[in-house]
A and B are shown apart, each in its own frame.
Chain A
Amino acid sequence: MPLLREPGSRYAPPRASALGLRALVLIAASVAVMVVDHRQHELTAIRTALSAAAYPLQLLVQSPVAAWNWMASSFATRSQLLAENATLTAENRENDLRLLRLEAIEQENLRLRELLNAAPRDVETAKVASILKVDLDPLRHRVLVDRGTTDGVTRAQAVIDAHGIFGQTNNVGLKATEVILLSDPTHAVPVQVERNGLRTIAVGTGEAHRLSLPYLPRNADIRVDDRLVTSGLGGVFPAGYPVGRVFEVKRDPTQPLATVNAEPAAALDRAREVMLLWLHPRVPLPASEPPPPPAVAPDKSKEKARKP
Protein backbone atom coordinates (compact mmCIF):
# COMPACT_ATOMS: atom_id res chain seq x y z
CA MET A 1 0.00 0.00 0.00
CA PRO A 2 1.40 3.39 -0.93
CA LEU A 3 2.13 5.79 1.85
CA LEU A 4 1.71 9.40 0.91
CA ARG A 5 4.41 11.43 2.55
CA GLU A 6 3.43 14.74 0.96
CA PRO A 7 7.07 15.88 0.78
CA GLY A 8 6.41 19.31 -0.69
CA SER A 9 4.05 20.33 2.06
CA ARG A 10 6.47 20.31 5.06
CA TYR A 11 4.42 17.58 6.62
CA ALA A 12 3.51 17.98 10.24
CA PRO A 13 0.61 16.24 11.92
CA PRO A 14 -2.15 18.72 12.68
CA ARG A 15 -2.57 19.56 16.32
CA ALA A 16 -5.29 17.52 17.93
CA SER A 17 -6.90 20.48 19.64
CA ALA A 18 -7.33 22.43 16.41
CA LEU A 19 -8.68 19.31 14.73
CA GLY A 20 -11.21 18.71 17.46
CA LEU A 21 -12.27 22.34 17.38
CA ARG A 22 -12.76 22.26 13.63
CA ALA A 23 -14.78 19.06 13.90
CA LEU A 24 -16.93 20.61 16.60
CA VAL A 25 -17.55 23.76 14.56
CA LEU A 26 -18.53 21.73 11.50
CA ILE A 27 -20.79 19.44 13.53
CA ALA A 28 -22.46 22.48 15.07
CA ALA A 29 -22.92 23.90 11.58
CA SER A 30 -24.53 20.62 10.43
CA VAL A 31 -26.88 20.64 13.39
CA ALA A 32 -27.83 24.25 12.66
CA VAL A 33 -28.51 23.43 9.01
CA MET A 34 -30.60 20.42 10.03
CA VAL A 35 -32.65 22.39 12.53
CA VAL A 36 -33.36 25.17 10.04
CA ASP A 37 -34.19 22.66 7.31
CA HIS A 38 -36.37 20.44 9.46
CA ARG A 39 -38.21 22.97 11.61
CA GLN A 40 -38.53 26.04 9.44
CA HIS A 41 -38.28 24.70 5.87
CA GLU A 42 -36.39 27.88 5.07
CA LEU A 43 -33.67 26.33 2.98
CA THR A 44 -35.87 25.76 -0.06
CA ALA A 45 -33.81 28.14 -2.22
CA ILE A 46 -30.52 26.46 -1.28
CA ARG A 47 -32.06 23.04 -1.78
CA THR A 48 -33.38 24.03 -5.20
CA ALA A 49 -29.96 25.33 -6.21
CA LEU A 50 -28.22 22.18 -4.97
CA SER A 51 -30.69 19.91 -6.73
CA ALA A 52 -30.28 21.92 -9.94
CA ALA A 53 -26.55 21.26 -9.66
CA ALA A 54 -27.22 17.59 -9.02
CA TYR A 55 -29.57 17.17 -11.99
CA PRO A 56 -26.89 16.74 -14.70
CA LEU A 57 -25.20 14.12 -12.53
CA GLN A 58 -28.49 12.29 -12.13
CA LEU A 59 -29.00 12.35 -15.88
CA LEU A 60 -25.46 11.00 -16.29
CA VAL A 61 -26.21 8.17 -13.85
CA GLN A 62 -29.30 7.12 -15.71
CA SER A 63 -27.77 7.49 -19.17
CA PRO A 64 -26.78 3.77 -19.46
CA VAL A 65 -30.38 2.78 -18.77
CA ALA A 66 -31.66 5.38 -21.22
CA ALA A 67 -29.19 4.19 -23.86
CA TRP A 68 -30.28 0.59 -23.34
CA ASN A 69 -33.96 1.53 -23.69
CA TRP A 70 -33.19 3.47 -26.85
CA MET A 71 -31.29 0.51 -28.29
CA ALA A 72 -34.08 -1.88 -27.38
CA SER A 73 -36.72 0.30 -29.03
CA SER A 74 -34.71 1.00 -32.16
CA PHE A 75 -33.93 -2.67 -32.71
CA ALA A 76 -37.48 -3.86 -32.06
CA THR A 77 -38.78 -5.99 -34.91
CA ARG A 78 -41.55 -4.88 -37.22
CA SER A 79 -43.92 -7.62 -36.05
CA GLN A 80 -43.42 -6.57 -32.43
CA LEU A 81 -44.24 -2.98 -33.28
CA LEU A 82 -47.29 -4.02 -35.29
CA ALA A 83 -48.58 -6.17 -32.43
CA GLU A 84 -48.04 -3.35 -29.94
CA ASN A 85 -49.78 -0.93 -32.26
CA ALA A 86 -52.78 -3.24 -32.61
CA THR A 87 -53.21 -3.64 -28.83
CA LEU A 88 -52.83 0.09 -28.30
CA THR A 89 -55.44 0.87 -30.97
CA ALA A 90 -57.88 -1.56 -29.37
CA GLU A 91 -57.24 -0.05 -25.94
CA ASN A 92 -57.70 3.43 -27.31
CA ARG A 93 -61.06 2.56 -28.87
CA GLU A 94 -62.27 1.10 -25.59
CA ASN A 95 -61.06 4.15 -23.68
CA ASP A 96 -62.84 6.48 -26.11
CA LEU A 97 -66.12 4.69 -25.48
CA ARG A 98 -65.61 4.91 -21.73
CA LEU A 99 -64.76 8.58 -22.00
CA LEU A 100 -68.03 9.29 -23.79
CA ARG A 101 -69.97 7.69 -20.95
CA LEU A 102 -67.81 9.47 -18.38
CA GLU A 103 -68.57 12.88 -19.80
CA ALA A 104 -72.30 12.23 -19.61
CA ILE A 105 -71.94 11.00 -16.04
CA GLU A 106 -69.85 14.03 -15.09
CA GLN A 107 -72.54 16.37 -16.36
CA GLU A 108 -75.16 14.43 -14.46
CA ASN A 109 -73.03 14.53 -11.32
CA LEU A 110 -72.66 18.28 -11.59
CA ARG A 111 -76.46 18.72 -11.96
CA LEU A 112 -77.17 16.47 -8.99
CA ARG A 113 -74.65 18.34 -6.86
CA GLU A 114 -76.33 21.59 -7.78
CA LEU A 115 -79.68 20.10 -6.71
CA LEU A 116 -78.15 19.08 -3.39
CA ASN A 117 -76.51 22.49 -3.01
CA ALA A 118 -73.16 20.78 -2.55
CA ALA A 119 -69.87 22.35 -3.53
CA PRO A 120 -68.78 21.09 -6.95
CA ARG A 121 -65.75 18.86 -7.03
CA ASP A 122 -62.32 20.29 -7.74
CA VAL A 123 -61.09 20.55 -11.28
CA GLU A 124 -57.95 18.57 -11.91
CA THR A 125 -55.29 19.11 -14.51
CA ALA A 126 -52.50 16.62 -15.03
CA LYS A 127 -49.04 16.42 -16.53
CA VAL A 128 -47.15 13.26 -17.39
CA ALA A 129 -43.73 12.80 -15.77
CA SER A 130 -41.30 9.97 -16.25
CA ILE A 131 -39.47 8.35 -13.38
CA LEU A 132 -35.71 8.83 -13.47
CA LYS A 133 -33.74 5.65 -12.91
CA VAL A 134 -31.74 7.00 -10.00
CA ASP A 135 -31.40 5.02 -6.79
CA LEU A 136 -32.12 7.01 -3.68
CA ASP A 137 -32.07 5.50 -0.20
CA PRO A 138 -32.93 1.79 -0.58
CA LEU A 139 -34.90 1.70 2.68
CA ARG A 140 -37.16 4.61 1.81
CA HIS A 141 -39.63 4.43 -1.00
CA ARG A 142 -38.88 7.56 -2.97
CA VAL A 143 -38.40 8.15 -6.66
CA LEU A 144 -37.24 11.06 -8.74
CA VAL A 145 -39.42 12.33 -11.61
CA ASP A 146 -38.36 14.67 -14.38
CA ARG A 147 -40.63 17.63 -13.58
CA GLY A 148 -39.75 20.56 -11.36
CA THR A 149 -40.53 24.15 -10.49
CA THR A 150 -40.14 25.06 -14.17
CA ASP A 151 -43.27 22.97 -14.79
CA GLY A 152 -45.12 24.54 -11.87
CA VAL A 153 -44.71 21.60 -9.49
CA THR A 154 -45.14 22.38 -5.82
CA ARG A 155 -44.68 20.46 -2.59
CA ALA A 156 -47.46 18.04 -1.48
CA GLN A 157 -49.03 17.48 -4.86
CA ALA A 158 -50.82 14.23 -5.71
CA VAL A 159 -49.09 11.79 -8.07
CA ILE A 160 -51.05 8.99 -9.75
CA ASP A 161 -50.33 6.27 -12.25
CA ALA A 162 -52.70 4.41 -14.57
CA HIS A 163 -54.12 2.27 -11.76
CA GLY A 164 -54.41 4.56 -8.77
CA ILE A 165 -52.72 6.86 -6.30
CA PHE A 166 -48.94 6.63 -6.52
CA GLY A 167 -47.67 9.11 -3.94
CA GLN A 168 -47.06 12.79 -3.42
CA THR A 169 -44.30 15.26 -4.26
CA ASN A 170 -41.83 16.20 -1.55
CA ASN A 171 -38.65 18.10 -2.39
CA VAL A 172 -39.13 20.06 -5.59
CA GLY A 173 -36.08 20.92 -7.63
CA LEU A 174 -35.73 23.00 -10.74
CA LYS A 175 -36.01 20.08 -13.14
CA ALA A 176 -36.56 17.03 -10.94
CA THR A 177 -38.88 16.31 -8.05
CA GLU A 178 -38.69 13.72 -5.32
CA VAL A 179 -41.92 11.72 -4.93
CA ILE A 180 -42.81 9.82 -1.75
CA LEU A 181 -44.52 6.57 -2.62
CA LEU A 182 -47.63 5.31 -0.82
CA SER A 183 -45.55 2.44 0.54
CA ASP A 184 -42.92 4.66 2.20
CA PRO A 185 -42.90 3.98 5.95
CA THR A 186 -43.45 7.67 6.69
CA HIS A 187 -46.36 8.16 4.31
CA ALA A 188 -50.06 8.10 5.18
CA VAL A 189 -53.10 8.74 3.01
CA PRO A 190 -56.70 9.37 4.16
CA VAL A 191 -58.90 6.69 2.57
CA GLN A 192 -62.48 5.56 2.49
CA VAL A 193 -63.93 2.08 1.98
CA GLU A 194 -65.84 2.26 -1.29
CA ARG A 195 -68.58 -0.15 -0.15
CA ASN A 196 -69.76 1.70 2.96
CA GLY A 197 -67.85 4.99 3.15
CA LEU A 198 -65.88 4.02 6.28
CA ARG A 199 -63.02 6.52 6.67
CA THR A 200 -59.55 5.65 7.92
CA ILE A 201 -55.87 6.17 7.12
CA ALA A 202 -53.66 3.90 5.03
CA VAL A 203 -50.03 3.93 6.16
CA GLY A 204 -47.03 2.74 4.16
CA THR A 205 -45.08 -0.23 5.47
CA GLY A 206 -41.83 -0.16 3.53
CA GLU A 207 -43.04 -3.06 1.36
CA ALA A 208 -44.12 -2.24 -2.18
CA HIS A 209 -47.14 -4.56 -2.07
CA ARG A 210 -48.62 -3.83 1.34
CA LEU A 211 -50.31 -0.87 2.99
CA SER A 212 -51.42 -1.04 6.58
CA LEU A 213 -54.70 0.31 8.03
CA PRO A 214 -53.72 0.47 11.70
CA TYR A 215 -56.47 2.67 13.13
CA LEU A 216 -59.58 0.48 12.63
CA PRO A 217 -61.38 -0.90 15.70
CA ARG A 218 -61.92 -4.65 15.91
CA ASN A 219 -65.61 -4.41 15.05
CA ALA A 220 -65.13 -2.12 12.03
CA ASP A 221 -67.12 -3.08 8.98
CA ILE A 222 -64.29 -4.03 6.65
CA ARG A 223 -63.82 -7.23 4.66
CA VAL A 224 -61.29 -8.83 2.37
CA ASP A 225 -61.63 -7.51 -1.21
CA ASP A 226 -63.01 -4.15 -0.10
CA ARG A 227 -61.77 -1.42 -2.41
CA LEU A 228 -60.19 1.66 -0.84
CA VAL A 229 -60.45 5.07 -2.46
CA THR A 230 -59.10 8.45 -1.40
CA SER A 231 -61.50 10.33 0.85
CA GLY A 232 -60.34 13.76 -0.25
CA LEU A 233 -59.67 14.83 3.32
CA GLY A 234 -56.28 16.38 3.92
CA GLY A 235 -56.38 18.43 0.74
CA VAL A 236 -53.50 16.66 -0.98
CA PHE A 237 -55.28 13.86 -2.81
CA PRO A 238 -58.51 14.43 -4.76
CA ALA A 239 -61.44 12.28 -3.62
CA GLY A 240 -62.42 9.03 -5.30
CA TYR A 241 -59.16 7.76 -6.72
CA PRO A 242 -58.39 4.06 -6.10
CA VAL A 243 -55.77 3.44 -3.42
CA GLY A 244 -55.87 -0.31 -2.99
CA ARG A 245 -57.72 -3.50 -2.17
CA VAL A 246 -57.94 -5.12 1.27
CA PHE A 247 -56.38 -8.59 1.22
CA GLU A 248 -56.17 -9.42 4.90
CA VAL A 249 -58.33 -8.67 7.94
CA LYS A 250 -57.36 -10.19 11.28
CA ARG A 251 -59.49 -9.64 14.38
CA ASP A 252 -57.71 -10.73 17.54
CA PRO A 253 -60.20 -10.77 20.45
CA THR A 254 -57.47 -9.60 22.84
CA GLN A 255 -56.61 -6.54 20.76
CA PRO A 256 -58.75 -3.39 20.52
CA LEU A 257 -57.70 -2.74 16.92
CA ALA A 258 -57.99 -4.98 13.88
CA THR A 259 -54.99 -5.80 11.71
CA VAL A 260 -55.91 -4.79 8.19
CA ASN A 261 -53.60 -4.96 5.19
CA ALA A 262 -54.25 -3.72 1.69
CA GLU A 263 -52.52 -4.08 -1.62
CA PRO A 264 -51.84 -0.76 -3.40
CA ALA A 265 -53.65 -0.31 -6.71
CA ALA A 266 -50.81 1.58 -8.38
CA ALA A 267 -47.83 -0.32 -9.77
CA LEU A 268 -45.48 1.21 -7.21
CA ASP A 269 -42.43 -0.82 -8.20
CA ARG A 270 -43.07 -1.10 -11.93
CA ALA A 271 -44.47 2.20 -13.19
CA ARG A 272 -42.28 4.18 -15.57
CA GLU A 273 -44.56 7.13 -16.12
CA VAL A 274 -46.77 8.88 -13.61
CA MET A 275 -49.13 11.86 -13.66
CA LEU A 276 -48.83 14.94 -11.48
CA LEU A 277 -52.20 16.43 -10.51
CA TRP A 278 -53.07 20.07 -9.93
CA LEU A 279 -56.29 20.82 -8.07
CA HIS A 280 -58.25 23.99 -8.71
CA PRO A 281 -61.25 24.43 -6.43
CA ARG A 282 -64.33 25.67 -8.35
CA VAL A 283 -65.68 27.61 -5.39
CA PRO A 284 -64.05 28.20 -2.02
CA LEU A 285 -65.24 25.81 0.68
CA PRO A 286 -67.58 27.19 3.35
CA ALA A 287 -65.61 28.57 6.28
CA SER A 288 -67.63 26.65 8.88
CA GLU A 289 -65.94 23.36 8.00
CA PRO A 290 -63.13 22.32 10.34
CA PRO A 291 -59.65 22.32 8.80
CA PRO A 292 -58.86 18.89 7.35
CA PRO A 293 -56.07 16.81 8.93
CA PRO A 294 -52.76 16.75 7.10
CA ALA A 295 -52.31 13.92 4.60
CA VAL A 296 -48.78 13.08 5.65
CA ALA A 297 -48.64 12.50 9.36
CA PRO A 298 -45.03 11.63 10.03
CA ASP A 299 -44.34 13.07 13.46
CA LYS A 300 -46.98 14.53 15.66
CA SER A 301 -50.34 13.35 14.39
CA LYS A 302 -49.17 9.73 14.26
CA GLU A 303 -47.90 9.87 17.80
CA LYS A 304 -51.21 11.31 18.89
CA ALA A 305 -53.12 8.56 17.17
CA ARG A 306 -50.98 5.90 18.79
CA LYS A 307 -51.28 7.21 22.31
CA PRO A 308 -54.76 5.94 23.23
Chain B
Amino acid sequence: MNLSGGSGRLPLYACSLAALLLSALPLPHFLDLVRPDFLLLVVVWFAIMAPRSGGLLFAWFAGLVLDSFRGQILGENALAFVAVAYLAHRFHLRMRMFPLAHQSLVVFALLAIYQFLLFWIDGVTGHPLTDWTRSLPSITGALLWPAVTGILGRFATRA
Protein backbone atom coordinates (compact mmCIF):
# COMPACT_ATOMS: atom_id res chain seq x y z
CA MET B 1 0.00 0.00 0.00
CA ASN B 2 2.99 2.23 -0.20
CA LEU B 3 1.95 4.82 -2.75
CA SER B 4 4.69 7.35 -2.23
CA GLY B 5 7.71 7.35 -4.46
CA GLY B 6 9.64 4.70 -6.36
CA SER B 7 7.72 1.79 -7.79
CA GLY B 8 4.64 3.01 -5.92
CA ARG B 9 4.17 5.53 -8.69
CA LEU B 10 3.44 2.81 -11.22
CA PRO B 11 -0.36 2.65 -10.66
CA LEU B 12 -0.47 6.42 -10.88
CA TYR B 13 1.11 6.41 -14.34
CA ALA B 14 -0.90 3.41 -15.51
CA CYS B 15 -4.20 5.00 -14.44
CA SER B 16 -3.29 8.33 -16.03
CA LEU B 17 -2.35 6.66 -19.29
CA ALA B 18 -5.60 4.70 -19.36
CA ALA B 19 -7.57 7.88 -18.65
CA LEU B 20 -5.71 9.75 -21.40
CA LEU B 21 -6.52 7.00 -23.90
CA LEU B 22 -10.17 6.98 -22.79
CA SER B 23 -10.33 10.73 -23.30
CA ALA B 24 -9.38 10.36 -26.98
CA LEU B 25 -11.17 7.10 -27.83
CA PRO B 26 -13.37 7.63 -30.90
CA LEU B 27 -17.02 7.63 -29.82
CA PRO B 28 -20.31 8.53 -31.51
CA HIS B 29 -21.09 12.22 -31.25
CA PHE B 30 -23.75 12.01 -28.52
CA LEU B 31 -21.43 9.95 -26.33
CA ASP B 32 -18.57 12.30 -27.13
CA LEU B 33 -20.61 15.21 -25.77
CA VAL B 34 -21.16 13.52 -22.40
CA ARG B 35 -17.69 11.99 -22.14
CA PRO B 36 -16.45 12.72 -18.61
CA ASP B 37 -13.03 14.28 -18.04
CA PHE B 38 -11.36 10.97 -17.21
CA LEU B 39 -7.91 12.36 -16.60
CA LEU B 40 -9.23 14.97 -14.20
CA LEU B 41 -11.14 12.30 -12.28
CA VAL B 42 -7.89 10.37 -11.86
CA VAL B 43 -6.10 13.53 -10.75
CA VAL B 44 -8.83 14.31 -8.19
CA TRP B 45 -8.86 10.76 -6.88
CA PHE B 46 -5.12 10.75 -6.30
CA ALA B 47 -5.27 14.22 -4.76
CA ILE B 48 -7.81 12.96 -2.24
CA MET B 49 -6.61 9.43 -1.57
CA ALA B 50 -2.85 9.61 -2.14
CA PRO B 51 -1.89 13.28 -2.16
CA ARG B 52 1.79 12.51 -1.71
CA SER B 53 2.22 10.55 -4.92
CA GLY B 54 -0.37 12.37 -6.99
CA GLY B 55 0.18 15.93 -5.93
CA LEU B 56 0.02 19.28 -7.64
CA LEU B 57 3.05 18.73 -9.85
CA PHE B 58 1.47 15.56 -11.20
CA ALA B 59 -1.75 17.49 -11.89
CA TRP B 60 0.21 20.15 -13.75
CA PHE B 61 2.02 17.64 -15.96
CA ALA B 62 -1.21 15.75 -16.63
CA GLY B 63 -2.83 19.00 -17.73
CA LEU B 64 0.09 19.86 -20.02
CA VAL B 65 -0.03 16.42 -21.63
CA LEU B 66 -3.78 16.77 -22.19
CA ASP B 67 -3.21 20.19 -23.75
CA SER B 68 -0.71 18.86 -26.25
CA PHE B 69 -2.86 15.79 -26.87
CA ARG B 70 -5.86 17.90 -27.77
CA GLY B 71 -3.96 20.65 -29.57
CA GLN B 72 -5.25 23.35 -27.28
CA ILE B 73 -3.27 26.33 -26.09
CA LEU B 74 -0.50 24.97 -23.87
CA GLY B 75 -1.17 25.58 -20.19
CA GLU B 76 -4.95 25.82 -20.35
CA ASN B 77 -5.75 22.42 -18.90
CA ALA B 78 -2.62 22.61 -16.75
CA LEU B 79 -3.91 25.69 -14.93
CA ALA B 80 -7.40 24.26 -14.44
CA PHE B 81 -5.99 20.91 -13.26
CA VAL B 82 -3.74 22.57 -10.69
CA ALA B 83 -6.59 24.70 -9.35
CA VAL B 84 -8.89 21.70 -8.99
CA ALA B 85 -6.14 19.50 -7.52
CA TYR B 86 -5.33 22.23 -5.02
CA LEU B 87 -8.94 22.33 -3.81
CA ALA B 88 -9.15 18.55 -3.63
CA HIS B 89 -5.81 18.37 -1.83
CA ARG B 90 -6.77 21.14 0.58
CA PHE B 91 -9.92 19.32 1.69
CA HIS B 92 -8.78 15.74 1.15
CA LEU B 93 -9.01 14.68 4.80
CA ARG B 94 -12.55 15.99 5.02
CA MET B 95 -13.56 14.48 1.69
CA ARG B 96 -12.36 11.01 2.70
CA MET B 97 -14.92 11.12 5.52
CA PHE B 98 -17.87 11.98 3.29
CA PRO B 99 -20.33 9.28 2.23
CA LEU B 100 -20.04 8.41 -1.45
CA ALA B 101 -23.07 10.41 -2.62
CA HIS B 102 -21.81 13.45 -0.78
CA GLN B 103 -18.39 12.98 -2.33
CA SER B 104 -19.95 12.87 -5.79
CA LEU B 105 -21.57 16.23 -5.13
CA VAL B 106 -18.25 17.77 -4.15
CA VAL B 107 -16.61 16.23 -7.19
CA PHE B 108 -19.37 17.75 -9.31
CA ALA B 109 -18.47 21.15 -7.88
CA LEU B 110 -14.79 20.55 -8.69
CA LEU B 111 -15.58 19.47 -12.26
CA ALA B 112 -17.82 22.51 -12.70
CA ILE B 113 -14.99 24.77 -11.54
CA TYR B 114 -12.71 23.07 -14.08
CA GLN B 115 -15.19 23.69 -16.91
CA PHE B 116 -15.61 27.28 -15.82
CA LEU B 117 -11.85 27.85 -15.83
CA LEU B 118 -11.60 26.39 -19.34
CA PHE B 119 -14.48 28.56 -20.49
CA TRP B 120 -12.84 31.62 -19.01
CA ILE B 121 -9.45 30.90 -20.57
CA ASP B 122 -11.12 30.23 -23.94
CA GLY B 123 -12.81 33.60 -23.66
CA VAL B 124 -9.59 35.41 -22.81
CA THR B 125 -7.69 33.77 -25.69
CA GLY B 126 -10.40 34.78 -28.15
CA HIS B 127 -12.44 31.71 -28.99
CA PRO B 128 -15.26 31.41 -26.49
CA LEU B 129 -17.76 28.57 -26.75
CA THR B 130 -21.06 29.44 -25.17
CA ASP B 131 -22.76 26.10 -25.56
CA TRP B 132 -24.82 24.53 -22.79
CA THR B 133 -23.45 21.07 -23.71
CA ARG B 134 -20.23 22.21 -22.04
CA SER B 135 -21.68 21.36 -18.62
CA LEU B 136 -22.59 17.77 -19.51
CA PRO B 137 -19.14 16.22 -18.78
CA SER B 138 -19.25 17.57 -15.22
CA ILE B 139 -22.56 15.81 -14.58
CA THR B 140 -21.47 12.48 -16.07
CA GLY B 141 -18.15 12.77 -14.27
CA ALA B 142 -19.89 13.19 -10.91
CA LEU B 143 -22.21 10.28 -11.69
CA LEU B 144 -19.19 8.17 -12.55
CA TRP B 145 -17.33 9.07 -9.35
CA PRO B 146 -18.46 5.99 -7.32
CA ALA B 147 -17.21 3.72 -10.12
CA VAL B 148 -13.93 5.66 -10.30
CA THR B 149 -13.32 5.29 -6.56
CA GLY B 150 -14.17 1.60 -6.79
CA ILE B 151 -11.90 0.84 -9.73
CA LEU B 152 -8.98 3.07 -8.74
CA GLY B 153 -9.24 1.97 -5.08
CA ARG B 154 -9.00 -1.66 -6.08
CA PHE B 155 -6.29 -1.15 -8.69
CA ALA B 156 -4.05 1.40 -7.03
CA THR B 157 -3.96 -0.28 -3.63
CA ARG B 158 -3.18 -3.72 -5.00
CA ALA B 159 -0.25 -2.78 -7.21
Contact = CB atoms under 8 A, between A and B. Distances in A.
B32 A135 contact: yes
A127 to B, nearest CB: 20
Nearest to A139: B129
Interface in B5-28: 5, 17, 20-21, 23-27
A3 B48 CA distance: 10
Contacts of B25: 61, 135
Contacts of B40: none
A222 B56 CA distance: 56
Contact of A6 (B4, B24, B129): B4
A171 B51 contact: no
A138 B115 CA distance: 14
A140 to B, nearest CB: 7
A32 B154 CA distance: 38
A136 B20 CA distance: 12
A6 B90 contact: no
Contacts of A9: 2-5, 52
A62 B26 contact: yes
Contact of B90 (A16, A31, A50, A178): A16
B56 A34 contact: no
Interface in A163-220: 170-171, 178, 185-186, 206
A142 B21 CA distance: 18
Interface stretch (A52-60, A247-255, A275-283): A52-60
B73 A4 contact: no
Given A61-B25, A135-B24, A31 B79 contact: yes
- Range for the number of chain B residues in contact with chain A: 35 or more
B116 interface: no
B149 interface: yes
Given A22-B56, A38-B125, A33 B78 contact: yes
A4 B79 contact: no
Interface string A18-53: 011011001101111110011000010011001101
A30 B63 contact: yes
A1 interface: yes
Given A22-B56, A65-B26, A31 B71 contact: no
A13 interface: yes
B57 interface: yes
A57 B82 contact: no
B82 A27 contact: yes
Contacts of A38: 73, 125
A293 interface: no
A288 B132 CA distance: 48
Contacts of B23: 135
A60 B75 contact: no
A8 interface: yes
B74 interface: yes
B57 A26 contact: yes
A137 B70 contact: yes
B131 A43 contact: no
Given A6-B2, A30-B75, A34-B125, A23 B65 contact: no
Nearest to A28: B79
A286 interface: no
Contacts of A140: 127, 129
A33 B86 contact: no
A54 B129 contact: no
Given A29-B60, A30-B82, A50-B65, A19 B149 contact: no
A126 B146 CA distance: 51
Given A2-B157, A186-B126, 12 more contacts: A6-B4, A8-B4, A9-B3, A11-B52, A23-B56, A23-B86, A26-B60, A29-B60, A38-B73, A53-B68, A134-B24, A299-B126
State the 5 A-B residue pairs at the shortest beta-carbon distance, nearest first: A50-B68, A30-B79, A33-B75, A299-B126, A34-B75
18 contacts: A1-B153, A4-B156, A6-B1, A6-B50, A14-B89, A22-B57, A23-B83, A23-B86, A26-B82, A29-B75, A50-B64, A53-B68, A57-B69, A135-B23, A135-B24, A135-B32, A135-B35, A139-B133
